[in-house]
Structure 1
């Protein structure tokens, strides 16, 4: 397999660049920030909160020494809100801390991350809510 792979690489002509060489993704930075927060929710809550979690990056303020990010976590039920917040806010703090570290790597700078949790019943069934949260809605 390795020899075949080497042979193919030797014989292939270089193709055109479709994106600049230093571009890591074609997604906007805000989208990636939201996905980093969502990832921490899914990792830290495990089976307790299903994939009915969405993130809205409400505001990003870039200052010389710090970037302030305000985000809202949307869940479908009050019980999910309680799980995401945790006892005395412990889960939300853990989510925020882990997500902040990941966002700092993304932007290569200091981040202040403020998270809010809101219940939005049946947001996954609403075309309007899906669109507002950045999901592509097919007709």
Structure 2
């Protein structure tokens, strides 16, 4: 199972407005707080659809699913789930991008440029990195349910 969606349109907490959402990776559920200051909810949804299409149909087999674009306030950063396709499996890792690590993309973050900032996948011999796996079929089902592009 793969799904990513916004449950409520906006909420204000500690002077920050955000959209509440969920990311489901196989049997795990992550709760999201998607910043509403820079992107509208439809922009998150469109980016997720484009990222899913990108990982399924492009040759470089990577994508990034942006879950929080915090561009206007310091510290400037983007929270996202990077994905790597290998055969019939897609592996996800959560990552926080600081402004300095990807300045060019953060100046104009959009779905067309997100895949360029996905780092190469490191294969570690220890379990320092948490990874979640979903099937390619689960990603296809996501697109059939929630194609926002």
TM-score, normalization: structure 1?
Answer: 0.31
TM-score, normalization: structure 2?
Answer: 0.29
Structure with greater helix percent: 1
Structure with greater strand percent: 2
